[in-house]
Amino acid sequence: MLIEPLAPARIDAAVALWTYILRELARRGTRDDAPHHARRHGPLEPAVSDTLGVVLRVLEPADAGSLLELELRNRVPWRATGPLRAEHWFTLQAQRRRLEDEARDREEGRALAFGVFTAGTLTGRVALGNIVRGPFQNAYLGYGIDERHAGRGIGTAAVCEAIEVAWAEGLHRVQAAVSPSNVASKRVLEKAGFRREGLALRYLRLDGRWTDQELWAITVEDVRR
Ligand SMILES: CC(C)(COP(=O)(O)OP(=O)(O)OC[C@H]1O[C@@H](n2cnc3c(N)ncnc32)[C@H](O)[C@@H]1OP(=O)(O)O)[C@@H](O)C(=O)NCCC(=O)NCCS
């Protein structure tokens, strides 16, 4: 029988998954009895890490200042990949409100958003959004890495860890929409094991206009054979 060696990133991801599961089981206690929609996602301990020292952590109200700085620094590079932002978005008040909304979504099982930290610094964001249960068991992935830290593998590590969280949450599929011209993001998805499924026309309204998007996806079978 031929056994293919696991890539180091996959080994790290598997270790991260078990760390996450054990912490969550200890923290939640009754987790296995709770239906998916009733599971609670309170503030997590630094949940997952890999050899790059990339840690995903749920942001708390005290992180609003760092989050604002991240948004301000990346206002231009992230512009083409998100909704048109009003000036108010770049205020402490709006970022506090955003964290409150994220906490509510987490509590209600709709989304799981994380800060991406390296050496204790907030260097990006990754989120499993629009979580749908029932027969779909799918989340939509979004992410952004601080331009100052780009090209060091942080985006790929964060995406790998986020999908391990998705599997730990019992999801079956994670999908991402990416602009055809966003070569770096497509490379991240490719490295994390996603496959391109096709091109969706006029799919997302980004920076104020409807854009075609490539749809990429991964299902749990791709990593747990
Ligand atoms: C896309 C993004 C998350 C990548 O983060 P990152 O930390 O730089 O990603 P990584 O370092 O893990 O990997 C980037 C890969 O893209 C490659 N890449 C970057 N720019 C590239 C370009 N212009 N042409 C070809 N490849 C490019 C890098 O070489 C690297 O691949 P490699 O490891 O094979 O060399 C980051 O650039 C970002 O936040 N962009 C703006 C927001 C965004 O696009 N979000 C995703 C929306 S779908």
Q: Which domain holds residue 48?
A: 8-222
Q: Classify residue 179: in a domain, yes or no.
A: yes
Q: Which atom of ligand 1 is nearest to the CA of 156?
A: 12
Q: Classify residue 169: in a domain, yes or no.
A: yes
CA angle 175, 66, 14 (to 5 degrees): 40
Ligand 1 site-directed mutation target among 149, 185, 213, most atoms within 8 Å of CB = 185
pLDDT, the chain, mean: 85
pTM higher than 0.75, yes or no?
Answer: yes
pLDDT at residue 18, as a whole number: 54
The torsion of the CA quartet 184, 187, 191, 196, rounded to 10 degrees, works out to: 140
Ligand 1 site-directed mutation target among 187, 207, 216, 218, most atoms within 8 Å of CB = 187
CATH number assigned to the domain comprising residue 47: 3.40.630.30
Q: Has residue 40 got a pLDDT over 60? A: no
Strand 138-145 versus strand 173-178 pairing type: parallel
pLDDT at residue 32, as a whole number: 35
Q: Classify residue 2: in a domain, yes or no.
A: no
Domain count, the chain: 1
Q: Has residue 97 got a pLDDT over 80? A: yes
The count of other CB atoms within 10 Å of the CB of residue 210 is 11
Give the mean pLDDT of 109-127. 97
Q: Classify residue 191: in a domain, yes or no.
A: yes
Residues in the chain: 225
Q: Has residue 2 got a pLDDT over 90? A: no
Q: Classify residue 90: in a domain, yes or no.
A: yes
- Residue corresponding to tokens 């949940």: 47
26 CA from centroid of ligand 1 (Å): 35
Q: Has residue 73 got a pLDDT over 60? A: yes
Pocket around ligand 1 at a 6 A CB cut-off: 77-78, 81, 143-145, 150-156, 176, 178, 182-185, 187-188
